[in-house]
Amino acid sequence: MTVDGSARAFRQHGRVVVVGASLAGLRAAETLREEGFVGALTMIGDEPSEPYDRPPLSKQVLLGKVPADGTALPRRRALDAEWRLGVAATGLDLTGKRVRLADGQEVGFDRLLIATGTRARPWPRETEADLDGVFVLRTADDAARLERRLAARPRRVLVIGAGFTGSEVASACRERGLEVTVAERGPAPLVGALGGVIGAVAAELQREHGVDLRCGIMVTALEGDPAGRLKRAHLSDGTTLDVDVAVIALGAMRNTEWLAGSGLGAGPRGVACDAGCRAFDVHGIVTDDIFVAGDVARSPHPLFGYQFLSLEHWGNALAQAEVAAHNMISSGPDRRPHLWVPAFWSAQFGVNIKSVGVPPMGEELIVTQGSLAERRFAAAYGHQGRVIAAVTFDHARWIDFYREQIESAAPFPPVFANVDRRPEGLRPVGADFPDPALPTHGPTVTLSGYSPSERRVTFTPARA
Amino acid sequence: MTATSGTLLHQITDYANRADPYPLYAELRRTPVARQDDGVYTVSTYWEILSLLHDPRISSDVRNRTPQAGGDLPPEDDTTLPPSFLRLDPPEHDRLRRLATRPFGPPHSPRRIHDMGGDLVRMVSGLIDGFQGREQVDIVEDFAYPFPVMVICKLLGVPHQDEVLFHGWADAIVAALDPSPAEGPQERQRTAQRARTELGTYLAGLVEEHRRAPGDDMLSALITDHGPDGQMSPVELITTAVLLLIAGHETTVNLITNGTLTLLRHPEALKRLREDPDLAVPLVEELLRYEPPVQLLPQRTALADIDIAGTVIPAGASIWLMLASGNRDPRRFDDPDRFDPGRRDNEHLGFGSGIHYCFGAPLARLEAQLALTGLARRLDGPRLVADPPPYRQNPVLRGPRHLPVAFDGVTA
């Protein structure tokens, strides 16, 4: 690898500030050191704890199997960084190259990595959100508080929102033998991420495990007793529900408020950046020294019509952090694109769920292996005649195959015979997403290469 | 001038090259996917093998093979036991493997292997105690074979004294896995079928005994346990028992023997293991990469045209996945021909991958770790008597037939 003089000098004497001390921030910092950055490194994080892992919070931690403070991320190497934990970044001076902190101090940088992630979307009415018994689940503290309350065996738990977090919370409650009601505004659980066909499977799964699942319904109010404890929920169908715990699982909000007025292209959907993780300013001009990674980033993906994707995926945070860090200390053609294929997993009600690609882009779906009725299957999503995504329920060992299908723009519906083709898989059905806002054009591309440094885009002409 | 890949595969299966096939694998990797003279497609590079192991267009059921596919066809007169789950595709494979997993591992039996640890340590000690007063042993006959046999007998609930019975049957069954284009493959298949039937009959008798008086073993659990998938049918129970009994020891023998040989060829690694038993964990992983007991999988069939590494493997073709070659692929592993017991990022193909990933991997790992640590700790001045040692005929389950090792004494 060749590095020009300035990149080499930067590796020796540069100052890097990483705002956000979670998965993306930590892995980026480690990558910087691994790749030879010996300059000054400052890590800023608003939580007081060292970087920790979040996926176990809604699973093992809520089951009481792992303590909430027991999910610290393993360190790949010593960082030799200055840690500013428990203090949030409050502003960014792009011209002066300084990050402002909540304690009034400022930290100067030559290059900045923004990895501030997301936070749980709170219950919209503050007085109700403040009731004792109303929880969100994003941080280790959230998980610790909720676990304590579940251990005290509430009579009924209300989960508001049946996305992945809400469904995992409901699963943990059932595993602990607690009565749980799930209220979902859409027609089925997981419907936004996986569509109505798979959502119906998830609904069946919940009901079979004893969840009182109510779809097409909203919680209109949370009511407390005079002592400020949650006691009742009011639903849009006019019914009420006596509950002493409510978990708000309405998705996440990106932590970009601190960048307001900075001149960066940052907003509620995240911080826009190019495929090399360099942030855009408000004019759409790429910056040279501001990089973004993880849940807060929003970057164009050639496989998905160059749409700007923001992904709340563990694997994306990791991969994007490594690319961002590499590019921070490289220049010109040594820089790499972040071409990670979106992928995530969930564990709920004893089922392992994995997904690759961008299911909501899919218009149609075909069960390629297994069967929906057995709730063990692989299904592919189609978009304009190609495979755009896939989901597996207890079929995870096949997921890499589908990733390759997506990367190589394989035709949809799939034409191949496979080891496990059953009658229901013979024809595609509508994937049944509630909001079919689909892009209408875009070049078709193929990903190639095995290691990140080899991954490049190859133009693939559309099939006639 | 290089040999054509067709000739290469003959060289790889040729017994003359059994002791060191690795230069031939390196040669084979120059053509990651190669069509052989007889229509078989060899796949020899890491990423391509891994990809095909996760490809639902690849069948493990030899009954999907077409006559023009190349490779062995199932004998037409096969009226014996149906295939075990190793040779089946989903959904039958998945159901049988799930049933077999219930009494073996997580989530239903997470402690089965862990709880055998004490017994395993005692078995290793007992065998090494038997070396006292001798100056030389055959690691295969005196250690690497008897140990896994004891273990699998205990695990399954098979009387250990019956080893004399099933030893011959196991030999015949394993010999039929040998895909070498040697003389008499049909005869070998028939002998293997006969052995499988006899072993099946023997195990059927055992199953009846366990049904009457269940013990704390896997056979008893498979007979008495009821899960969401129901139970195995009597024939499924027997084919599964045949598979577990044979796969449960025929491969581990090679892992332990190859391990001993490799350690004696790398005295510094042997010394490190003696001083630090924790090294056994990464060391066994490296062994599985460096000298995998299962060198190749010659049983796969393409169900569709598969475009891979610039070659289209046509539907119906027979595919050989060259695991041991993938394990030495320099595009995946740094300095792949170096034995590095502390190697990191070691996702080898020693146990395969995908839905047929070695069922017994947790047990095989533990057996090899304890066996090699025991030898390293207790043998004084061990040295090879012959290098290379004589090898077994089989190129698939490759390992020494005998491994004479001399030593100065046995530490208590």
10 Å CB burial of residue B309 (0-12, 13-18, 19+) is middle
Out of A77-81, A156-160, B274-278, which region has the weakest mean confidence (pLDDT)? A77-81
* Contact A420/B at CB under 8 A: yes
Q: Which residues of A touch B331 (CB under 8 A)?
A: 450
Q: Is A153 on the interface with B (CB under 8 A)?
A: no
Residues 92-131 of B with CB under 8 A from A: 94
Tokens 């790889």 belong to residue: B12
Q: Which contiguous run of DSSP H or E holds residue B302?
A: strand B297-302
In B22-70, alpha helices (H): 22-28, 46-53
Element (H, E) at A460: strand A456-460
Contact A376 B94 (CB under 8 A): yes
Give which of B46, B50, B57 to mutate to test A binding, by max A Cβ within 10 Å. Answer: B57
Higher pLDDT, B166 or A434: B166
The angle that helices B361-378 and B146-156 make with each other, rounded to 10 degrees, is 140
Cβ-based burial of A327 (10 A; exposed 0-12, middle 13-18, buried ≥19): buried
pLDDT at B183: 58
Q: How many other C-beta atoms are found inside a 10 Å radius of the C-beta of residue B346?
A: 16
Q: Please say if the pLDDT value at position A445 is more than 90.
A: no
The nearest alpha carbon in chain B to A395 belongs to B355
Q: Are A418 and B54 inside 8 Å of each other by CB?
A: no
The pTM of this model reads 0.91
Least confident of A9-18, A124-133, A431-440, B166-175: A431-440
The percentage of residues in chain B with a pLDDT greater than 70, rounded to a whole number, is 94
pLDDT of amino acid B182: 60
Q: Out of A134-148, B125-139, B177-191, B308-322, pick the least confident.
A: B177-191
Neighbours of B328 (CB within 10 A): 22
* Neighbour count for residue A25 (Cβ, 10 Å): 25
Nearest CA in chain A to B57: A418
Nearest chain B CA: its distance from A211 CA (Å): 20
Of A369, A376, A450, the CB nearest to B56: A369
So what's the pLDDT on residue B2? 46
Judge: A416–B57 Cβ closer than 8 Å, yes or no.
yes
B175 touches A at CB < 8 Å: no
* Residues of A with Cβ-Cβ distance to B356 under 8 angstroms: none
Please compute the mean of the pLDDT values over residues A229-238 and round it to a whole number.
Answer: 97
Helices (H) and strands (E) in chain B, counts: 16, 12
Q: Nearest-CA residue of chain A relative to B64? A: A419
Chain B positions touching A370 (Cβ under 8 A) are 90-91
Here the tokens at position A341 are: 């294929």
- Residue A1's pLDDT band, with cuts at 50, 70 and 90, is very low
Interface contact flag, B57 A418, Cβ < 8 Å: yes
Is the pLDDT score of A450 beyond 90?
no
Q: What pLDDT does A44 receive? A: 98
- What is the set of domains in chain B, with CATH numbers? 8-410 (1.10.630.10)
Distance from CA of A86 to the nearest CA of B (A): 34
Q: What is the pLDDT of residue A439?
A: 42
Of A386, A321, A313, the residue nearest A355 (C-alpha): A313
Chain A residues inside the 8 Å CB shell of B355 = 397-398
| A46 vs B183: which has the higher pLDDT | A46
pLDDT more than 90, % of chain A: 83
User: Average pLDDT of B52-67?
Assistant: 88
Structure letter (DSSP) for residue B75? P
Of A134-143, A294-303, B44-53, the least confident: A294-303
Does B315 lie at the interface with A, CB-CB under 8 angstroms? yes
The residue among B303, B333, B347 with the most chain A CBs within 10 A of its CB, best to mutate, is B303
Q: Which of B54, B59, B303 sits opposite A398 (nearest CB)?
A: B54
Asked whether the beta carbons of A296 and A117 are under 8 A apart, the reply is yes
> In which residue are the tokens 């996440």 written?
A252
pLDDT score at B227: 87
What number of other Cβ atoms are within 10 A of residue A94's Cβ?
A: 17
pLDDT tens for residues A369-428? 999 999 999 999 999 999 999 999 999 999 999 999 999 999 999 878 888 867 666 789
Higher pLDDT, B400 or B175: B400
Alpha carbon B318 to chain centroid distance? 20
Distance from A208 to chain B by nearest Cα, in Å? 14
Higher pLDDT residue, B299 or A37? A37
Which of A401, A419, A421, A422 is the best substitution to test chain B (most B C-beta atoms within 10 A)?
A: A419
Say what percent of chain A tops pLDDT 70: 92
What's the CA gap between A255 and A124, in Å, rounded? 17
Mean pLDDT computed over every residue of chain A: 92
**Which of B50, B51, B56 is nearest residue A419 as measured by Cβ atoms?**
B56
Which segments of B5-145 does DSSP mark as H helices, in order? 5-13, 22-28, 46-53, 92-101, 112-115, 117-129, 139
Contact residues, chain A, for B305 at CB < 8 Å: 416
For chain A, say whether B330 makes contact (Cβ under 8 Å).
no
- Identify the three-state secondary structure at position A374: coil
Strand partners of residue B158? none
Instruction: Give yes or no for A356 touching B (CB within 8 A).
Output: no
Closest residue in A to B229 (Cα) is A374
Could you report the per-residue pLDDT of A292-311, keeping only the tens digit for each? 999 999 999 988 888 899 89
In the numeric block, the tokens 């169900």 are attached to B303
Average pLDDT, stretch A324-346? 94
Q: Which of residues 340-359 of B touch A (CB under 8 A)?
A: 353-355, 357
Chain B residues within an 8 Å CB radius of A415: 304
A368 to chain B: which residues are within 8 Å by CB?
A: 56
Q: Is residue A324's pLDDT more than 50?
A: yes
